[in-house]
Structure 1
């Protein structure tokens, strides 16, 4: 078996190492973004992995490459966001599923989405705290044993290959002790591996382009539909993933799918069974079980899980959950209702909560465990949490991928409280997805009922684009002191950054 791993920047070194452990597997690595250090290269060579360049890739499709085992076919593995001349045989997500498919024998929940992934993972951690969960999120790798959490690694990316890292670290932590990991909660960017019992798409708020503009985040996340059950907000499901096509559209989709499958079988030297669990190079309309959620919108809302009679508060929001026709992992349908009280001060927080509830119900988790776990959730330090300074309450929204939609929803929330203020700013380069400054500056120009202070590099750039001339401070501490001196009591702090960077200030 010969494998070419493309992209050493986003987890490719991990995949190359895992493939190199397979018997009779020759591994080639293409550092397409030229980020490997001399030490990285040395480690790959020690493992018998051969570094190649773009010319090697082009030769795959122009001529036969001689190998000692007389087998010239090469399995090309590349991330979904990487634009290549020829589609890969496997994405990085699918490769992780292929490599781990026989290793993990406990329930797996995978989480993707534009926003809310880390918060959803934190809520699921509380729900499954008594089940020895393994959690991979943008905050790190954590195991919870006997209800006590232990961080195994901080500052880890959520590229799909990090799932392998998390699982290997958990194996070492438990060292074959029984019981070990009881459930896996994996946050992953741009899709799923196909291993998940439940795959969550939190939302597609402000879809963005990938692969040099040739694809989008929403299309990449279609990989999550390889999960046994998919959980998705109802708007994204019907508007993006499963629209109700006309008869002519259905015929067109069917023809496109047929052509795509035919093209795959003609061009790929590997059979679909060899590429299991993600055998097709083309992503398709969802045909597996899906459970949707929503904040109730009226009689026409046919989501499986709906929140209604919502009472928002800063510390605890209470609401009722109505469950209709939810498909569970055991094949049964669930119809029930119950009340929940948890930290969800605004609508977008509640949407994250609903994704966690829907996923838990899909796995057949007892309602009592869900209610208890969410009742213990107090927000997420480094993302959304509350800070009290005298009479002033600061609602912290610290997120490397904050976008305009999230800002608008958070501002709508703080407007409902007395003497509100907004401190907004942040840094650049903390995530691949940049914020739409033109749209955000226009929104801020029309913000009249909330006191505004801008801060950081992002705040300075927004100020230059605005018609108004809001207060600016280069340091957050100065901005907070300014708000305090104004006598304002409810402060929304939105800062586009990694929490570890902000915590150093």
Structure 2
């Protein structure tokens, strides 16, 4: 289906529909935008009509006016326009498919390779590690929930902050990069619930745990199969060997199929189909003292800077939160901690040499390719899926083994993903991110309990909840209630974040409206021997 001189409607302007509508209008189509959720302001809607000729409506439009519809995979199929299209057999393109068709004809991408990464878990960490590895040889632009970054020789720089990982945001990410004069060798896109079909390499991290979408009429795992079903002939797919549904979908595809063994799946006895091409084995390793370890340029703390008001707070490195400050300064620092992370790695965490690292052994088709000794200071078990997927992808794309090993050994964790920090002299385990769910919270508590035992710490102050229920389906209060009932006694105190959490009752619980407020309360409650555990679902 060509996208020229067609009459079409783009449904859902809230979740990436606006950049799709703009591009389709620029290609010469007659475009109407439907603000399904009524969340787009009148000023922006007026701009769409005045500058791009896009008519808009907050109510369903007559289907007969359009050649086809464009709608996200997570939209309720009972929405009148979708239900009518289904009954009349009219074509409905997903947002992913529409973006793919737009990009296929873009001459600006003719010499740039694209990597798309989707899945339930480990998308951001896989994408970030791969960007670092590829940047040792190529110029890379990375778009994740952390921001839009340019990577060169292991060093990231911020291009833009504030984009979501909806497929429509890919169009904006490319536009922002080209506007900045950056034409990379590789674009790496973290993408939610599927693929666009333009990737030279598509990576599926996990399909588990699965969850319902489209008003619980479909499973997210089926939508993520777009990465495979839409894959262009001659491209490469790197799939989790435990994702049996994905492997079945890949049968007969005209792609190069590679698989990796996910250590988490192996531990949970999930069936592994066939013999994976790439396998990661781990063992306990001798720790290295942070003082004796050499950091890459990307991992040296940098001084924070402020960008324009339209971009919000931008920095090239995180602020230290271990310094003395007044109450107002402390709240500001906590706000920085909870904001979208900077492209560079955070400052060196306070970790004693006794904290153990691990040794990774990476095998390709049964042959040992390399070993890597990991740094202490973060829960490296939370990154094993990313370690194997990123390493496999980097080797497949021509990166030398020594560069892959270097990145793994220099890695110190991503902000908000099981990273150890220090907050005003108190140990902080930071597990607050957009992909956080109740299982992740359980693993984080288990890690904090082990840290408490090994380091003879005091109590655990847990900050748990959500900053917005719209963040990747939110954190269901019923799940949090179960967590508190099952594990609440293991914490000295629990601070629940978010309005929906106020319905949860327990003896050792208090409430906060945001992550910064929750961390501030935790800091006030905690003694120097305690551990603050932050597990809040939020955009970072």
TM-score (norm 2): 0.71
Which residue pairs with 1:79 in the alignment? 72
Equivalent of residue 128 in structure 2, options 113, 122, 133: 122
**Aligned partners of 2:201 and 2:236 also within 8 Å:** yes
**Aligned partners of 1:132 and 1:147 also within 8 Å:** no
Could you tell me how far apart the structure 2 residues matched to 1:348 and 1:115 are? 10
Matched, 1:319 2:357: no
Could you tell me how far apart the structure 2 residues matched to 1:19 and 1:145 are? 32
Matched, 1:189 2:192: yes
Which residue pairs with 2:397 in the alignment? 363
Could you tell me how far apart the structure 1 residues matched to 2:491 and 2:172 are? 45
Deviation of 1:438 after TM superposition, in Å, equals: 3.3
Could you tell me how far apart the structure 1 residues matched to 2:188 and 2:407 are? 15
Which residue pairs with 1:17 in the alignment? 22
In structure 2, relative to structure 1, the CA distance for the partners of 1:459 and 1:119 (3 Å cut) is farther
In structure 2, relative to structure 1, the CA distance for the partners of 1:57 and 1:339 (3 Å cut) is farther
Deviates more, 1:79-88 or 1:152-161: 79-88
Deviation of 1:91 after TM superposition, in Å, equals: 1.0
SS in structure 2 opposite 1:374? helix
Which residue pairs with 2:329 in the alignment? none
Matched, 1:472 2:510: yes
Deviation of 1:284 after TM superposition, in Å, equals: 8.1
Equivalent of residue 40 in structure 1, options 44, 50, 60: 44
In structure 2, relative to structure 1, the CA distance for the partners of 1:101 and 1:150 (3 Å cut) is same
Which residue pairs with 2:174 in the alignment? 167
Could you tell me how far apart the structure 2 residues matched to 1:186 and 1:315 are? 33
**Aligned partners of 1:126 and 1:377 also within 8 Å:** no
Equivalent of residue 372 in structure 2, options 331, 334, 340: 340
Which residue pairs with 1:200 in the alignment? 203
1:217-236 correspondence to structure 2 within 5 Å: 217-225=220-228, 226-227=230-231, 228-235=235-242
Which residue pairs with 1:275 in the alignment? none
Aligned length: 428
1:413-436 deviation digits (Å, cap 9, x = unpaired): 333322373513133425141224
1:210-241 deviation digits (Å, cap 9, x = unpaired): 11121121111111113333333332x12x43
**Aligned partners of 1:411 and 1:422 also within 8 Å:** no
RMSD: 3.1
Which residue pairs with 2:147 in the alignment? 140
Which residue pairs with 1:216 in the alignment? 219
Which residue pairs with 2:343 in the alignment? none
Could you tell me how far apart the structure 2 residues matched to 1:16 and 1:300 are? 42
In structure 2, relative to structure 1, the CA distance for the partners of 1:12 and 1:127 (3 Å cut) is same
**Aligned partners of 1:115 and 1:202 also within 8 Å:** yes
Could you tell me how far apart the structure 2 residues matched to 1:361 and 1:497 are? 33
Equivalent of residue 113 in structure 2, options 95, 107, 110: 107
Could you tell me how far apart the structure 1 residues matched to 2:417 and 2:470 are? 14
1:240-279 correspondence to structure 2 within 5 Å: 240-242=245-247
Q: Which runs of 5+ in 2 are unaligned?
A: 288-354, 513-517
Matched, 1:498 2:539: yes
In structure 2, relative to structure 1, the CA distance for the partners of 1:30 and 1:336 (3 Å cut) is same
SS in structure 2 opposite 1:402? coil
**Aligned partners of 1:438 and 1:465 also within 8 Å:** no
Which residue pairs with 1:69 in the alignment? none
In structure 2, relative to structure 1, the CA distance for the partners of 1:294 and 1:78 (3 Å cut) is same
Deviation of 1:55 after TM superposition, in Å, equals: 5.2
In structure 2, relative to structure 1, the CA distance for the partners of 1:5 and 1:360 (3 Å cut) is same
Matched, 1:438 2:445: no
Could you tell me how far apart the structure 2 residues matched to 1:304 and 1:453 are? 45
Equivalent of residue 291 in structure 1, options 256, 259, 274: 259
Could you tell me how far apart the structure 2 residues matched to 1:197 and 1:118 are? 19
Matched, 1:154 2:161: yes
Deviation of 1:338 after TM superposition, in Å, equals: 1.3
Could you tell me how far apart the structure 2 residues matched to 1:452 and 1:364 are? 50
Deviation of 1:185 after TM superposition, in Å, equals: 0.9
Could you tell me how far apart the structure 2 residues matched to 1:117 and 1:8 are? 24
Could you tell me how far apart the structure 2 residues matched to 1:303 and 1:110 are? 20
TM-score (norm 1): 0.75
1:429-456 deviation digits (Å, cap 9, x = unpaired): 2514122443443344333884342113
